[in-house]
Structure 1
């Protein structure tokens, strides 16, 4: 291979291999490595490491191990960097047994773990829910004289939050500060997310002033998490208040923010407000997704405004968004409520044609619709069809 008329050397090849592997094209990297051999150019340790990193990033851990052995067979001594690449790869995969074996091998070769080794191991153990082991490595890291980075600390905080130990996570944030490590947005994001999941949105909201005091400005993701928390606690007033606050702070809501608000307003019978937000979302260049459309359709079906519900359904299909069983069921329920069994049955046929299987709720809605209009035979037929498909009717369906 020649670059600008000059024959490529090991340095040129290594740069190209690193570039392709970084972009995820390991195959091209391996092809260039083979070309080096054909041109009698001896690869450097950097060349081998680039391929190793590319294989690990692609999740090809068995091939990575073979490549790692190839490095030793080529006469190069393993260094911390090579071990860290493999350890990180296994930690990302959650294969902590393999990561631990490599760590032991590293120590046996008189190579001490460095901050990269510790960070990967802490991440890996937090990922699989072994917080105790993650904390052990965190303490080992400090004892070795390394100051953990905010990213490493965030892994531990995420680990605490996954285990539901919010108090410990907050205590750990104080410990970070004592060590001179500044918490960042991701630090607080994990805690806020956990508190909202535990229906403690008010407590989560109290962290916003704490963040601002540290010059950490909450992102759209954090605000969306809080809005979702209040929405799930049936507090649309607080959710909308946070939305207004976002706008005042110049934080642009994304499709997730809009979808949460549309859903909470539609569920609460505030269809027109939800529809206004839906239109605002589109005006901002944000495309509604399956959840946004379904929330709006469900809201109009509840208020028996089937014209708008059907219009949105058509718009959804024309936008190449495949309706879910929930979307279809909402529409079927709406048409049953306005005594349009012809439309309800047509939608069931469409579901079957689109391989969207009706579920227990779909059948229950249809059976109730038939019973309401006195179509007893049709109701029995649906009940039998339901049983033949292995779908157990709920108690209320059997009573009807």
Structure 2
């Protein structure tokens, strides 16, 4: 039945012959006028996208405009609304592999359809789409059209309430790309279009762009204009100015802005203090940076994870490792260390400095206070203890990890087992292997090989045979020859080199 319908829909042979004789004859009916997109593809038309980048040529066929017209005809009703167009752009055209680059063409074509008018929802979605895809030429075109043909919300005496968020997003995009002139132009257009005074967020968007591109004086001038326009600055405003000063290595000016912030009745936040602490540490003024952190606590502002990371990491990077550990222990006693803080940087620095025992004290103190160190921190500490020959401490930390359902990586685990076997403690290594297997660690061939060789060196035949049988159960012994060779090594107690161990338990056996 389906094949009959398909045959009826195909053109007849006589029609195809006529088409070959008359090249200008088109057997396919042309779409309705409302789907005529020639204006947006014609470079001489005022609706054309003159500043748009060239369209892709690999994924699109030569008849892309006609395909787009048929696509619109199948998904839009004759009297479509802005909500219908937004649904088409967001849910269908956006995910089409060949027609997705034509979103702005469809947007401009819809503007020329009778009885249709874009509203703030379509303007905002199109502006955000162009911004996140770095199409700044079309974005400038869109903003100019939005000012010339505003949203229906602006037909009364008030402006559209969504015009400021739209411009604010585009200012962020322009600043991110380094197009500061376009950002300034968008800012000025937004000020003219908004009813009353703009919000501080609009000034902050442009000010942050100046700060990131080290245009500090322009950021200060914008702040002065903000005060002149009687727009009240917020904490974000002063944080941007403080950060801008520190980018220019002007810590004294940053402190002046911090005082200005307090004088204007604007309460600082954690970001304000973190920025100042980082600025002091950058200029090697560690005592003053730690003083800012203590003042932060005295004023009732709790530490964030970023605060602790700035304190610990900066001190460790400058070789002040003992001072960092003492500061962390002090904060632990006060109970101001935030939940989720991981002291990996401090533990790694202590282990590299040959002070793994101090690192173990730090981790133990964290666990006593209810802070769980991460698996990476624990494995780093275990490796540091093992390299110093502190096997009892390393085994104890490994057991605590396993009891807390923290599964280490097999490389760290096997290295610890090998150290125990080399020290003549293969029984302890095997007990640790059994505990780890119960807690979710899956031993590999290297794990069993280390234990068999350890028992062989110590002459523990029965324990070694139990390990070989476990290997057989999990399928790590490929053939009878390998099994006999393992049993023979346990019988004779022959020592094997590391190279022999690798070959003995490989799959190729």
TM-score by length of 2: 0.48
CA deviation after TM superposition for structure 1 residue 277, in Å: 5.6
Q: Partner residue of 1:363? A: none
Q: Is 1:92–2:176 an aligned residue pair? A: yes
Pick from 323, 347, 354: which aligns with 1:238?
323
Alpha-carbon distance change, 214 to 235 in structure 1, aligned in 2, over 3 angstroms: same
**Alignment pair present for 1:126 and 2:193:** no
Shift of 1:160: 1.1
Q: Please, which moves more after superposition, 163-172 or 128-137?
A: 163-172
Contact 1:10 1:44 in 2 (8 A): no
Deviations 1:127-159 (A, max 9, x none): 111111101101110011111111111111111
Asked if 1 retains the 8 angstrom alpha-carbon contact of 2:175 and 2:209, the reply is yes
Shift of 1:69: 4.1
CA distance in 1, matches of 2:270, 2:240: 13
Q: Identify the residue that residue 136 of structure 2 maps to in structure 1.
A: 61
CA distance in 1, matches of 2:254, 2:205: 19
Is 1:168 aligned to residue 243 of structure 2?
A: no
Cα deviations by residue, 1:233-257 (Å, 9 ceiling, x for unpaired): 43333312222233341534646x4
Match of 2:242 among 144, 157, 160: 157
Q: Following TM superposition, by how much is the alpha carbon of 1:163 offset from its aligned partner in structure 2, in angstroms? A: 1.7
Q: Deviation at 1:105? A: 5.4
Larger CA Rg, structure 1 vs 2: 2
The answer as to whether partners of 2:357 and 2:385 remain within 8 angstroms in 1 is no
8 Å CA contact 1:223, 1:246 repeated in 2: no
Residue number in structure 2 paired with 1:190 = 275
Name the residue aligned to 1:378: none
Residues 269 and 299 of structure 1 are in contact (CA less than 8 Å); yes or no, is this contact kept in structure 2? no
Kept after mapping to 2: 8 A contact 1:45/1:71: no
Can you list the C-alpha shifts for 1:222-274, whole angstroms capped at 9, x where unaligned? 1221122332343333312222233341534646x411211221132112443
**Counterparts of 1:133 and 1:91, CA distance in 2:** 13
Alignment partner of 1:206: what SS?
Answer: helix
- SS of 2:123's equivalent in the other structure is helix
* Residue of structure 1 equivalent to 2:94: 27
Pick from 106, 127, 133: which aligns with 1:52? 127
CA contact (8 A) 2:296 2:302 kept: yes
Written as runs of structure 1 = structure 2, the 5 A alignment for 1:246-261 is 246-247=331-332, 248-249=334-335, 251-252=337-338, 254=340, 257-261=342-346
Q: Is the 8 A contact 2:277 2:293 kept in 1?
A: no
Q: Which stretch shows the higher mean deviation, 199-208 or 242-251?
A: 242-251
Query: Does the CA-based 8 Å contact 1:263-1:295 persist in structure 2?
Result: yes
- Residues 1:193 and 1:13: Cα distance change in structure 2 (over 3 Å): farther
Distance in 1 between residues matched to 2:116 and 2:93, nearest whole Å: 19
SS at match of 1:142: helix
CA distance in 1, matches of 2:193, 2:306: 45
Unaligned runs of 5+ in 2: 1-78, 399-407, 413-509
Matches within 5 A, 1:1-400: 27=94, 42-57=117-132, 59-72=134-147, 74=149, 81=164, 82-103=166-187, 114=198, 115-247=200-332, 248-249=334-335, 251-252=337-338, 254=340, 257-274=342-359, 287-288=374-375, 303=388
* 1:161–1:169 Cα contact (<8 Å) kept: yes
Determine if contact 1:160/1:166 at 8 Å carries over to the other structure: yes
Following superposition, the deviation at residue 40 of structure 1 comes to 7.6
Find the aligned partners of 1:26 and 1:135 in 2 and give their Cα distance: 44
- Render the CA deviation track for 1:190-216: whole Å, top value 9, x for unaligned: 010111222222211111343234321
Residue aligned with 1:239, SS: helix
Query: Cα offset for 1:11?
Result: 7.7
How far did 1:183 drift?
1.0
**8 A Cα contact 2:171 2:186, kept in partner:** yes
